[in-house]
Amino acid sequence: MVEQLAVLGAEPVLFPTIAIVPPPSYAELDAEIARLRETNYLVLTSVNAVAAFFTRLAAAGLDARALTGVTLVTVGPKTAEALAVYGVRADRVPATFDAEGVVALLRDEVAGRRVLYPRAALARDLIVRELSAAGATVAAPVAYASAPPADAAARLDAALGDGLDLLTFTASSTVRNFAALLGPDQLAAARAVPAAVIGPQTAATARALGFTVAVEPTEATLEAMIAAMVDYYHRLDTQHPAPST
C-alpha cells in the first residue's frame, strides 16, 4: 500500500499500530489441528490467521496434505494469496470480503458440519454465533493476538507534529490502538484529520471513536481503498481548483 501511494505522488507516513504476538497458549488450536479429519470447513479471515495456522500445522509434523477433504474458505483475495504460498488454493471466497460475507456464503450449507475458524484474540463473534445458529459445530481457537508496538507512542507524536492530510485505517484494531496511544490534545488534533477506511466495520469503529470518515471503498480491499482515496482527492481538486497564475 505504501509503495502504491508513493508511486501516485503521496508522502506515506508509515506508522504501525499493531504488533502480531502469540496467544497465551496454542493448546486449543493444536487440539483442533489434531482433529482435522473430522473438520469439514477451515475458515481463514486474515493473512495472519493463515500464517499462524500453518506454523502450528508444521509444529504438529503435518503439511497441506492434512487438509485433504476440508473445504478452505478465505475472507478475500489477499488471504487466498497467502494460502497459495503453502501450496493450496481457497475453495470458496465470499462476495463481500468480511465476516458478514463469510456467514452469507456458508450459512445455508453448514448444518451438521464441523467448522474450524482460527481467529484473532479480538475478533468479533459474528462467524461463531451465526454459523452455530445455522447448525454448525464451530471451533474458534485463538491463533494470534495483537498489541501496540513498543515505540508507537513516540512515533505517533512525531507524525502528528509534522502534520498529516489523511489517516488510513485497515482494521478496527488499528483505529482502537491508534486512539489509545493519544492524549486528549493529540486525539483532538487527530480527529480533525479526515480518515480513509477499508470497510464498514472499520468505518463504524472510527466513527464511534470520533474520527471523520471521508473515504470508504465499496469493496474491502487495499486496491479499492487506494482508488477511493485517489477519487476523493480528485473530487477535492475539482471542487477547489488551484488558483491560476
pLDDT tens sequence across 15-67: 888 888 999 999 999 999 999 999 999 999 999 999 999 999 999 999 999 99
Question: Do residue 25 and residue 116 come from a single domain?
Answer: yes
Section 109-121 average pLDDT: 97
Question: Do residue 191 and residue 213 come from a single domain?
Answer: yes
Domain-embedded: residue 245? no
Residue 221 sits in which domain range? Answer: 2-18+149-239
Confidence at 157, pLDDT banded by 50, 70, 90: confident
Q: What domain count does the chain have? A: 2
| pLDDT tens readout for residues 178-234 | 998 888 888 998 999 999 999 999 999 999 999 999 999 998 888 999 999 999 999
Question: Do residue 130 and residue 25 come from a single domain?
Answer: yes
* Three-class secondary structure of residue 223 per DSSP: helix
pLDDT at position 241 = 64
Question: Do residue 75 and residue 137 come from a single domain?
Answer: yes
Nearest Cα neighbor of 31 from 145, 144, 139, 146 is 139
- 86's enclosing H/E stretch is none
Q: Which three cell numbers stand for residue 183?
A: 492524549
Section 163-169 average pLDDT: 93
Examine the fold and report which residue of 78, 112, 146 is the final residue of a domain before the chain moves on: 146
Question: Do residue 130 and residue 194 come from a single domain?
Answer: no
Residue 116: give its domain's CATH number: 3.40.50.10090
Question: Do residue 6 and residue 60 come from a single domain?
Answer: no
| CA atoms 208, 210, 213, 216: torsion sign | negative
Domain-embedded: residue 244? no
Q: Is the pTM here over 0.85, yes or no? A: no
Question: Do residue 14 and residue 24 come from a single domain?
Answer: no
Q: What dihedral angle (degrees, nearest 10) is formed by the CA atoms of 53, 56, 61, 65? A: 0
Report phi then psi at 66, rounded to 5. -70, -15
Section 70-96 average pLDDT: 95
Confidence at 245, pLDDT banded by 50, 70, 90: very low
Sequential DSSP letters for 32-59: HHTTGGG-SEEEE-SHHHHHHHHHHHHH
Question: Do residue 137 and residue 170 come from a single domain?
Answer: no
